[in-house]
A and B are shown apart, each in its own frame.
Chain A
Amino acid sequence: DTEVTQTPKHLVMGMTNKKSLKCEQHMGHRAMYWYKQKAKKPPELMFVYSYEKLSINESVPSRFSPECPNSSLLNLHLHALQPEDSALYLCASSQRTSGGSSSYEQYFGPGTRLTVT
């Protein structure tokens, strides 16, 4: 089973709203990722968690706040977003962020389509 689930599938929010995106995997993976993807562009890495600790923040604005409550869950808290933040937000997981080649394979969820109005 290589399933990563994400909720909600679609989200529309105003610029003053606070919302959260949720990601879950039950593959025993210890690395989880948030990516942002604009239409017809490749995913852009935002955050990496390794063993529930934030290991990479790609200079993401503070209006995006990640959280990893446990090894299976990853949240992305959103506050005071801008219309240009509208995009597909993808969660991914891998066994680890170091080790053998199979550790590197990232499995993506279906994404949350976010629209900021």
Chain B
Amino acid sequence: TQLLEQSPQFLSIQEGENLTVYCNSSSVFSSLQWYRQEPGEGPVLLVTVVTGGEVKKLKRLTFQFGDARKDSSLHITAAQPGDTGLYLCAGGGYSGGSNYKLTFGKGTLLTVNP
């Protein structure tokens, strides 16, 4: 069973601060996806990383995939109240033959205070 440890679980910061969320595993993932979810809504895909060492930027968000494809980080620069939400990392891999599944981390609940 593949496990993803996500930290921190809760984060409350002031507008303008920077933050980093981490996802770590002892397993190798073929891809890793980051989602953001607002209360009562479905997760929205932010980015997919597939290559070890890959770095992707989405405005103030920077995503990195570890060289060994076992870990990933999400860095937010100058956080804004609109960044508030549940951030989920999800690692992709095969389970039992050709069935591809996502393994989700427990999520980071981010609150950005104005």
Q: Label chain B's interface by main secondary structure.
A: strand
Interface size on B, residues (CB 8 A): 28
Give min CB distance, B22 to chain A, whole Å: 15
Q: Is B66 an interface residue (CB 8 A)?
A: no
Inter-subunit contact B42/A106 (CB<8 Å): no
Chain B residues with Cβ below 8 Å from A48 are 99, 101
Inter-subunit contact A109/B101 (CB<8 Å): no
Cβ 8 A contact of B100, one of A4, A43, A97: A97
Inter-subunit contact B42/A110 (CB<8 Å): yes
- Chain A positions within 8 Å of B, measured between CB atoms, are 2, 4, 6, 31, 40-43, 45, 48, 50, 55-56, 88, 90, 92, 97-98, 101-102, 104-111, 113
Q: Would you list the 3 A-B pairs with minimal beta carbon distance, nearest first?
A: A108-B42, A42-B104, A101-B50
15 contacts between A and B (CB under 8 A): A4-B42, A6-B42, A31-B100, A40-B107, A56-B101, A90-B42, A101-B31, A104-B30, A104-B31, A104-B102, A105-B33, A105-B45, A106-B90, A108-B35, A113-B40
